[in-house]
Chains A and B, each alone.
Chain A
Amino acid sequence: MRTLVSPWALRTRRGKTMYWLVFALVLALFTLAFVVPLVWMLLGAMKSAPELARNPPTLLPERFDTGAYAEAWNFMDLAKYFTNTVIIAAGAWLIQLAVQVPAAYALSKLRPVLGKWILALMLATLMLPASALLVPTYLAITEVPIFEVNLVNSPAAIWLPAAANAFNIYLLKRFFDQIPTDLLDAARIDGAGTVTTMARIVLPLSRPILAVVSIFSIVAAWKDFIWPLLVLQNPDVQTLSVALQRFEPDTPINLMLAGLVIASVPMVVAFLIFQRQILAGLTAGSLKG
């Protein structure tokens, strides 16, 4: 593909030298900027606390000691926070799909009266900066209107507001819009009800967008900090992010680093597995979305 630099210029001896010089420079800078910090974190977790306090720092650990991971796991009771985070993320994912998929399907294919208005009201919420809504949403959690319950310290305090995500509904609706209505009519003639049509015809065709929405909602739930900080006040129900931040002032740095690695591994593994979907969702979501 033709880009900014002309292919003829690249074929000359000078062009080739320049290309490889720039390539080496970018390779070195990228490795330094994005790989070295992560490797430094991994190595740091294997150094002892006194070794980490040394100045200048040692490049490699004197002894590759992976004991800090086990010690951090016990010291900060990470099993509990890891489980909490998994429950929060899995629940946020399932509830978002259960709420958003039917809603998007209704807005796209069933088209009820006022459907356009409902969609507009949902999209309007995207205009509001999340931090400007923290206080009133928090108050709605402490005393849910009509139901009169206090959801603070309950996973539902994360799940239910997450379900009110206009962006995901919009992504899903836009995808459903492209599915020809003839296909749905054909299913109905064959005697399929609305639920069957959605489950058997529309959802299998929508796997790409379901993957994108699923990944978005799981990653967002795993990474979120400010909202869980507000609504999960009891230490026993906190997520990894909230707990790590709480432990940070009085935890030995080598254990802290091990904790950081443990909190990151699921996201990095998810990225390595679902890289294609994540990057596709990134461009689809941010620009055309």
Chain B
Amino acid sequence: MTVTAVRTPELASVQGRSTRGPARLRRKVTENLTAYGFLCAALVCFALFSWYPIIRGILLSFQQVNFVTPAEWVGWRNFETLFNDPLFGIAWRNTLLFTGLALVIGFAIPFAVAIVLNELRHANAYFRLVVYLPVMLPPVVVAILWKWFYDPGPGLFNSMLRTVGLPPLAWLNSADTSMLSLVLVATWAAMGSATLIYLAALQTIPGELYEAAELDGANLWQRLRHVTIPQTRFVLLVMMLMQIVATMQVFTEPYVMTGGGPEDSTVTVPLLLYRYAFFYDDFGTASALSLLLFLALGAFSALYLRLTRSVS
């Protein structure tokens, strides 16, 4: 071993390289004890409220629990209960409809808005401020507020439609428009963060790429297609995964605005899960549904985590 620099004994003991034997072992133990002292609060919180519930959730899916007698193993019966519930299929269809509509509306709009904002040279601070304001509002406030806007009578939206001479809509009161109405609220409330994230991504695109494309004769549309989109592809993919995971868990809007109606058109999987657990007190079946939701989303969130962790 060559020593490249003269070490004072003090420094050597701090860095712990040149000492050997029991002293070193003792210091290792002390260091680890200190580290675990720093970690213990977090470990307790994770163990009690994260790791243990994960395992308990899987076990509960195959159990019948009533909290009086010990939990009883019932095999796949909780899943059979679910498959025999007509709302099970409806809830999945509604959830996928919500996610699908949210992808069409809530995914395209923020990207388009960000592209336009990136071109504007005035009032940028104002645009950023107002687009993000709804994100700061509590979701319950947004839901109650929009429920009032959707009022078919004196509500804001139908008044606007009448002003411009269009026929009023039933919004939340019809099974045809209820889900679309929920997607509009959710998009309004969430698009601020997506827009600003896209805007930040657009600002990292080197200007030379646009110049070069222009010299090669690329028009505006071609520059968008061959420079902007490829340069932001990664962000778009990550945001899409994040949005799928978030929208498939939609609960607050249907719970506050429609309660699942009209005609079960807005019963989502988390809403059904809530009903099983807290209306029917059937925690076993609720856990079985949680497990299915996890399986449906696990792949998306795993991919999301992989992508975001590998960049930094």
Most buried by B among A3, A38, A136, A287: A136
Size category, A interface:
35 or more
Given A125-B54, A133-B290, A174-B312, residue A118 in contact with residue B43 (CB < 8 A): yes
Given A4-B224, A135-B287, A223-B138, A164 contacting B50 (CB threshold 8 A): yes
Check B136 against A144 for contact (C-beta < 8 Å).
no
Q: Across the interface, do A286 and B154 meet the contact criterion of CB distance under 8 Å?
A: no
Q: A105-B38, A279-B132, A287-B235 are in contact. Are A2 and B52 (CB under 8 A)?
A: no
Task: Tell me which of A1, A37, A223 contacts B145 (CB under 8 A).
Answer: A37
For residue A110, which residue of chain B has the nearest CB?
A: B35
Contact between chains at B252 and A30 (CB < 8 Å): no
Scan A89-133; emit 1 where CB is below 8 A from any B CB, else 0.
Answer: 000000000111011011100111101001001110111111111
Query: A271 near B132 (CB under 8 angstroms)?
Result: yes
**CB <8 Å contact, B129 and A275:** yes
Task: Please tell me if B228 contacts chain A, counting CB pairs below 8 Å.
Answer: yes
Chain A nearest CB: distance from B190 CB in Å? Answer: 12
B277's partner among A57, A134, A161, A260 (CB-CB below 8 A) is A134
Do residues B156 and A102 form an inter-chain contact, with CB atoms below 8 A? no
Given contacts A244-B140, A267-B136, contact A106 B54 (CB under 8 A): no
User: Are A129 and B119 in contact (CB-based, < 8 A)?
Assistant: no
User: Which of A121, A129, A174, A253 contacts B245, CB < 8 Å?
Assistant: A129
Cβ contact within 8 Å between B277 and A112:
no
A105-B38, A106-B39, A244-B140 known; A137 vs B49 contact (CB < 8 Å):
yes
Whole-angstrom CA separation of A134 from B109 in the bound complex: 31
Rounded to whole angstroms, the CA-CA distance of A32 and B149 in the bound complex is 14
Docked CA distance A287–B128 (Å): 19
Considering the chains assembled together, what is the distance between the CA atoms of A194 and B32 in angstroms? 12
Q: How far is the CB of B104 from chain A (nearest CB, A)?
A: 18
Contact A110 B31 (CB under 8 A): yes
Please name all residues of chain A whose beta carbon is closer than 8 Å to the beta carbon of B15 when the two chains form the complex. 185
A5 with B156: in contact, given A103-B42, A110-B34, A129-B249 (CB under 8 Å)?
no
Q: Knowing A118-B43, A282-B197, say if A219 contacts B128 (CB, 8 Å).
A: no
Interface status of B298 (Cβ within 8 A of chain A)? yes
Tell me if A4 and B278 are in contact (CB < 8 A).
no
| B122 CB–A CB distance under 8 Å | yes
Interface 1/0s, chain B 100-124, versus A by CB < 8 A?
A: 0000000000000001111110110
A264-B35 in contact given A3-B207, A135-B57, A145-B52 (Cβ < 8 Å): no
A30-B301 in contact (CB<8A)? no
Does chain A have a CB within 8 A of B233? no
Question: Which residue of A has the minimal Cβ distance to B134?
Answer: A34
The 5 closest A-B pairs by CB, nearest first: A2-B207, A103-B42, A112-B35, A136-B53, A110-B35
